[in-house]
Copies of this chain bind each other. A is one copy, B any other.
Amino acid sequence: MPAPIDFYFDFSSPYGYFAATRVEAVAAKHGRWVNWQPILLGAVFKVTGGQPLPSLPLKGDYAKRDMARSARLLGVPFEYPGKFPISGVAPSRAMTWLHGKDQQRAKDLALALYRALFVHDRDISNPDVTVEVATELGLERGAVSVGMSDQATKDTLKKEVEAAISKGVFGSPYFVIDGEPFWGHDRIDQVDQWLAKGGW
């Protein structure tokens, strides 16, 4: 069986959200499983010196326009959130906890959290909002709440983010296919071709 595709994303990344809506279809075409791994760009930027897009002169304004335009082209619903960027810690912990129990449901949760932020302008950096989104998927409120704040969950996420950085992951979305890295939603067509051809 071929190795899974590693898909790294930050919950505050619009391009990560766009990729999240497409990566499974691309992988399925080529018989691949996708391993969804939330990362925290705040931790990444400590290593790279990077900054959130909205804070960058000129590039920030452009990015805002590009996000909306790319979403329209893709046919993906998107509204620029009232509060942005946000911390991805709460949703990442929720996903990490659920990932340990049910990988498919963890993906569904990730998509629901992305939609909550980027379609319905809900502030998922607030743990109560993240829990609310999880309950709307049928998860049990108390279990999510306890699972997110469990020290083991926090430690697992921390370790996974550190592991991602040590592998060179510096942005969102970021894909690794059989050791080959691809950064950015705008590389998803290359991801598709790489899977089809086995490289070039």
A65 contacts the other chain (Cβ, under 8 Å)? Answer: yes
Taking A65-B181, A200-B72 as contacts, is the C-beta distance between A59 and B187 under 8 angstroms?
no
**Which residues, 18 to 76 on A, are CB-close (under 8 Å) to B?**
47-50, 56-59, 61-62, 65-66, 69-70, 72-73
Q: CB within 8 A of A47: which of B57, B65, B186, B193?
A: B57
**Which residues, 143 to 196 on A, are CB-close (under 8 Å) to B?**
165, 168-171, 181, 183-184, 186-187, 190, 193
Q: How far is the CB of A188 from chain B (nearest CB, A)?
A: 10
Interface majority SS (helix, strand, loop, mixed), chain A: helix
Which of chain B's residues have a CB closer than 8 A to the CB of A65? 181
Question: A59 touching B186 by the CB < 8 A rule?
Answer: no
Q: Mark A128-153, 1 if CB is under 8 A from B, else 0.
A: 00000000000000000000000000
Question: B59 touching A170 by the CB < 8 A rule?
Answer: yes
Give the complex CA separation of A100 and B50 in angstroms. Answer: 39
